[in-house]
Amino acid sequence: MRDTVSFTLNGKTVEVQNPDPTLTLLNWLRQTRSLTGTKEGCAEGDCGACTVVIGDPDRTPHWQALNACIAFLPTLDGKTVISVEGVAKDSKLHPVQRALVEHHGSQCGFCTPGFVMSLYAHYRNDGAVDEETLNDVLAGNLCRCTGYSPIIRAAKAMYDYPKIEDIALAESAKQDTLALSMTCPLTGAGKKYFAPQSLDELAALYADHPEATILAGGTDVGLWVTKKHAVLETLIDIGRVVGFAKISQDKSGLTIGAGTSYAAAHAALGNLHPTLGEMARRIGSTQIRNAGTIGGNIANGSPIGDMPPPLIALGAELVLHKNNTCRRIALEDYFIAYGQQDRTRGEFVESIFVPAPDPATRFAVYKISKRFDQDISALCGAFFVCMKDEKVTEVRFAFGGMAAIPARAKTAEAALIGKEWSENNIRTAMSALAQDFTPLSDMRASADYRLNAAQNLLWKFYLGEDAPYLAREMHHG
């Protein structure tokens, strides 16, 4: 029996007795430990001022930046947690810190601890310091003062400073620590927090507690607590289910365990198609991708999740699991209506299967947002087409941001099936998109723009190699 959460913080083991399972790491650090170097800038995982570093020998790379503002304390059990206070050693600045000071990388200083931590994780992973990589490492850290240039100059120079002794990575957590299981949930603040370790346990638990909130990366669930002030009575953390974050590939395609983080899936998705890799790279930020899962992005049924459209276009299937019974459905059929999915009480997403695209097929996915990195799509368009003898034999166009759910453009597809892949027919399909969708106007884009841009994305897809790209996209994909 355990009623404590235990992890190492800045090199020392800490035990927290029966915490409220939805207590965030940020609030615990600041309020309980008086470690106020970690800041709250937004409490929704967007600004990065709260960034801490997690060491986990079971993850690659070992050191991962994380948004403490939406990380629930029990999810850290067994891990190595480093906050900004743990980076310098005996009043000696870490190379990352020295570089930032000497390159004038801080002005108001409020975002700075977050930048320090993102760069610290990168430093400890021996990450590259070219600008493209650094843009990615720091996409989840907003700075309003410097315009980022001095921070990039500092990052490029961080390996030039003498090393100092770093906090060691604690041994793998899996063996003895986390007995947080179905038999002994945490029960702080009258809530229940389960951390099943096997699929069977998870299935049994969820069957017993179908009212529970399934917690994966917490990049969405965290906000229910910090922003909507929801009280989550029962949580089932799927983060410790063995094999749940597994990726496997064979000739038929790619199987992604529902608990796989975007970061872990990135390479495999990029192998399927470069634009799919780029899409995954543009989801959230490094911090968000380290936590958020492919399964979560699907399971929560959001109309603007970025993974469903390309996966639908690729013909992906979901494996849903309930009480040791599995069923397989087309991903597109999972989304029924806004806030409504084909998932029964007690059923959970187990894995996603993405068929390997045939060489005779073409695929691309595009995302349009006000800001290139770390923004939610105004519009996401994914296109898949298979041709034989110059005729379209199979076609799937899927969009996010165009309807209340991620959805296919069936009329546009029908306009092409059996036809030649020609400019005229594409123009007809573009017009047909207007019958498929009646998008909404909101703060991200107007209905008109969404429809027109969706049509142009199809045109872009048709242009293929000749399609326009902005200079910033050249290095990715």
Partner 1 sequence: MAKFQSVPHDSAHKHVTGEAIYVDDLPCPPGLLHLQPGLSTRAHAKITKLDLSAVRAAPGVVCVLTAKDIPGTNDVSPTGTGDDPVFAVDEVVYAGQAIFAVAATCLAAARHAAALAIIEYEDLPAILTISEARAAKTDLEPEQIMFMGSTEEALRFAQHTLTGNFRVGGQDHFYLESQAAECIPGEDGDMTLTSSTQHPSEVQHLIAHLLNKQSHDVRILVRRMGGGFGGKETQAALIAAMTALATHKTGRPARLVLDRDDDMVMTGKRHDFEIDYKVGFDDTGRLSGIFLDLASRCGCSMDLSAAINDRAMFHADNAYFLNNADITSRRFRTNTVSNTAFRGFGGPQGMIAIERVMDAIALHLGKDPLDVRKVNLYNKMGRDFTPYGQRVMDNVAPQIIEDLERRADYTARREAVRVFNDSHKYVRRGIALTPVKFGISFTTTFLNQAGALVHVYTDGSVHLNHGGTEMGQGLNTKIAQIVAEEFQIDFGKVKITATDTDKVPNTSATAASSGTDLNGMAAQRAAQTIKTRLADFAAKDAGCVSTDVVFKHGHVRAGTKNWTFEALVKAAYLACISLSGAGFYATPDIHYDRKKHTGKPFYYYAYGAAISEVEVDLLTGESKILRVDIVHDVGKSLNPALDIGQIEGGFVQGAGWLTSEELVFDDQGVLRTHAPSTYKIPACSDRPPVFNVTLYEDGENSEETIHKSKAVGEPPLMLAISVFSAITDAVASVGNYKTLPDLHAPATPEAIFRAVTALQEGAET
Q: In this complex, which beta carbon is closest to partner 1, that of residue 425 or of residue 452?
A: 452
| Binders of partner 1 in range 342-371 (CB under 8 A) | 366, 368-371
If one asks whether residue 92 binds partner 1 (CB under 8 A), the answer comes out as no
Q: In this complex, which beta carbon is closest to partner 1, that of residue 81 or of residue 445?
A: 445
Cis peptide before 308 (omega within 30 of 0): no
Rounded to the nearest whole angstrom, what is the least distance from the CB of residue 409 to partner 1 in the complex? 17
CB distance 128 to 147 below 8 Å: no
| Binders of partner 1 in range 228-257 (CB under 8 A) | 229
| Binders of partner 1 in range 55-84 (CB under 8 A) | 83-84
Q: In this complex, which beta carbon is closest to partner 1, that of residue 159 or of residue 372?
A: 372
Exposed / middle / buried, residue 249 (Cβ in 10 Å: 0-12, 13-18, 19+)? middle
Task: Count other Cβ atoms within 10 Å, centred on residue 354.
Answer: 24
If one asks whether residue 149 binds partner 1 (CB under 8 A), the answer comes out as yes
Token reading at 152: 């990039």
Rounded to the nearest whole angstrom, what is the least distance from the CB of residue 436 to partner 1 in the complex? 19
Q: How far is CA 13 from CA 165, 350, 382, in A?
A: 18, 34, 47
CB distance 100 to 94 below 8 Å: no
If one asks whether residue 142 binds partner 1 (CB under 8 A), the answer comes out as yes
Locate the DSSP E strands across 3-117: 4-9, 12-17, 51-55, 63-67, 80-82
Binding test (CB under 8 A) with partner 1, winner from 183, 336, 463, 464: 463
If one asks whether residue 34 binds partner 1 (CB under 8 A), the answer comes out as yes
What is the per-residue binding string for partner 1 in 150-179, x denoting contact by CB under 8 A?
xxx---------------------------
Task: Count other Cβ atoms within 10 Å, centred on residue 171.
Answer: 12
Binding test (CB under 8 A) with partner 1, winner from 172, 339, 442, 464: 442
If one asks whether residue 340 binds partner 1 (CB under 8 A), the answer comes out as no
CB distance 135 to 373 below 8 Å: yes
Binding test (CB under 8 A) with partner 1, winner from 71, 276, 291, 376: 376
Rounded to the nearest whole angstrom, what is the least distance from the CB of residue 180 to partner 1 in the complex? 24
Distance of alpha carbon 187 from alpha carbon 205, whole angstroms: 15
Rounded to the nearest whole angstrom, what is the least distance from the CB of residue 476 to partner 1 in the complex? 10
